[in-house]
């Protein structure tokens, strides 16, 4: 900043003389100082530069006007000759600097407000980006956290938005999970991983994908990757049920697991002898599985069949204890099937 110290009537010659240890100062003498936009104070070093002359009372005031070439110096202008003398001994910074704020990922309008508030001139340019939304800042020039002069120009590098908004789904099946995850990111797909045990496919290899390869979808669409958990120990859950006390007759019990008959578990019994007793069937599954169990009964006497009970057994993905939810229970089925 340019500052011109001008002599004018305010303080006495005696006061200035006591500060600099010299005689009187002529009111027409000028002192030129370039300072970094700070409040100006006259110390003994500065006053000593003033050549004593005739005893006039003077004041010292400041106004912004002097030559750029004298940056960083104290210049004395002799009132009689007009000649200038410079003293480079005083180190003064000519310009204020500020830290360029980090405005990346801000909208253009927000970034401009922030930079102008910090005293910068703002200009924008565009650069393609698949990751930054339209009209949001990618970076600045100068970079964030660098020092720059106030009043200088900061360039906002702005994204015009992704060039492509539709992508072709690649093939994930057969890829190791870490490779599949990287590919999903490259194709701008949101992926979710589900694990399932497999005796045939190595652990952490993609077995299935929810969207077929070469399908065109919007960017950021979700795709589910089913990944092999390898051979895991099957979990088991006993499903217990009680034969109604009023049931009579001989019946055959058949167990269907996910629609498939478990022939080895089929039993035939007189429910009159078993009334009030608790029977059970063990359901097995892998972590994350949901297994459907249906118990069908057939009257040996009438040959009629019907559904007695249906439940869904859930095995937690974390290997915790399984539970089951009853979907159907017909306590009157034995009486109904016994009627001829």
- In the chain, where the domains are located: 2-87, 97-158, 166-228, 235-338
For 280-330, write each residue's pLDDT tens digit.
999 998 888 899 999 999 999 999 999 999 999 999 887 788 998 887 899
**Using the 8-state DSSP alphabet, how is residue 273 labeled?**
H
Q: What is the pLDDT of residue 22?
A: 45
pLDDT digits (tens, 9 = 90+) for 52-73: 444 444 444 444 444 444 444 4
Task: Please provide the CATH number assigned to the domain covering 97-158.
Answer: 3.30.10.20
Provide the pLDDT confidence category of residue 40 given band limits of 50, 70 and 90: very low
Contact 301, 249 (CB under 8 A): yes
Pairing assessment for the beta strands 222-228 and 190-196 based on DSSP bridges: parallel
- Confidence check: pLDDT of 17 > 70: no
Per-residue buried b or exposed e for 111-142, using 16+ beta carbons within 10 Å of the residue's own CB: bbeebeeeebebeeeeeebeebeeebbbbbeb
The pLDDT value given to residue 172: 97
pLDDT for 28 beyond 70: no
- Look at residue 207 in the predicted model and tell me its pLDDT: 96
Nearest to 47 by CA among 67, 78, 22, 79: 22
Instruction: With cut-offs at 50, 70 and 90, classify the pLDDT of residue 95.
Output: low
Structure tokens at 203: 């652990």
Q: What is the mean pLDDT of residues 12-32?
A: 40
CATH class for the region spanning 235-338: mainly beta
pLDDT at 75 over 80: no
Q: Looking at residue 34, what is its pLDDT? A: 37
Q: Which has more confidence, 164 or 229?
A: 229
Q: What percent of the chain stands above pLDDT 90?
A: 49
- Judged by DSSP in three states, 235 sits in strand
* Mean predicted confidence (pLDDT) in 153-174: 90
33/336: higher pLDDT? 336
State residue 18's pLDDT score.
42
Identical fold for domains 97-158 and 166-228, yes or no, is yes
- CA dihedral angle for residue 320, residue 324, residue 325, residue 326, rounded to 10 degrees: 180
pLDDT at 79 over 70: no
Average pLDDT over residues 107-115: 94
pTM of the model: 0.39
Output the pLDDT for position 112: 95
Per-residue pLDDT at 165: 79
Give the pLDDT score at 146.
94
Query: Does residue 33 register a pLDDT over 60?
Result: no
Architecture of the 166-228 domain: 2-Layer Sandwich (3.30)
pLDDT digits (tens, 9 = 90+) for 261-289: 999 999 999 988 876 788 899 999 888 88
* 188 Cβ neighbours under 8 A, 6+ residues apart: 130, 162, 167, 219, 220
- What one-character DSSP code corresponds to residue 70? G
């Amino acid at each position: 900043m340019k500052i011109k110290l001008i002599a004018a009537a305010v303080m006495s010659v005696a006061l200035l003389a006591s500060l600099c240890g010299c005689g009187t100062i002529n009111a027409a003498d000028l002192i030129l100082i370039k300072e970094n936009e700070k409040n100006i104070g006259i110390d003994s070093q500065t006053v000593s530069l003033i050549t004593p002359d005739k005893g006039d009372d003077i004041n010292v005031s400041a106004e912004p006007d002097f030559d750029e070439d004298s940056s960083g110096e104290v210049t004395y202008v002799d009132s009689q000759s007009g000649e200038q003398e410079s003293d480079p001994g005083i180190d003064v910074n000519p310009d204020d600097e500020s830290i360029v704020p980090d405005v990346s990922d801000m909208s253009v309008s927000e970034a401009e407000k922030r930079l102008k508030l910090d005293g910068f001139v703002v200009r924008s340019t565009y650069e393609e980006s698949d990751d930054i939304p339209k009209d949001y800042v990618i970076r600045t020039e100068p970079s964030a956290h660098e020092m720059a002069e106030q009043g200088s120009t900061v360039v906002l590098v702005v994204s015009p938005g992704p060039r492509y908004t539709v992508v072709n789904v690649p093939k994930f099946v057969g890829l190791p999970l870490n490779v599949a995850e990287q590919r999903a990111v490259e194709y701008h797909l949101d992926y979710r991983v589900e694990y399932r045990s497999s005796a045939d496919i190595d652990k952490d290899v993609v077995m299935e994908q929810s969207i077929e390869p070469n399908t065109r979808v919007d960017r950021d669409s979700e795709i589910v990757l089913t990944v092999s958990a390898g051979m895991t120990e099957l979990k088991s859950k006993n499903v217990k049920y009680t034969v109604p006390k009023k049931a009579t007759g001989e019946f055959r019990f058949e167990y269907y697991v996910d629609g498939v008959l478990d022939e080895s578990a089929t039993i035939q019994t007189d429910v009159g002898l078993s009334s009030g007793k608790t029977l059970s069937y063990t359901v097995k599954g892998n972590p994350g599985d949901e297994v459907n169990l249906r118990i069908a009964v057939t009257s040996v006497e009438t040959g009629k069949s019907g559904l007695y009970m249906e439940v869904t057994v859930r095995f937690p993905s974390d290997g915790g204890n399984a539970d089951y939810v009853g979907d159907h229970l017909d306590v009157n089925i034995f009486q109904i099937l016994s009627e001829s």
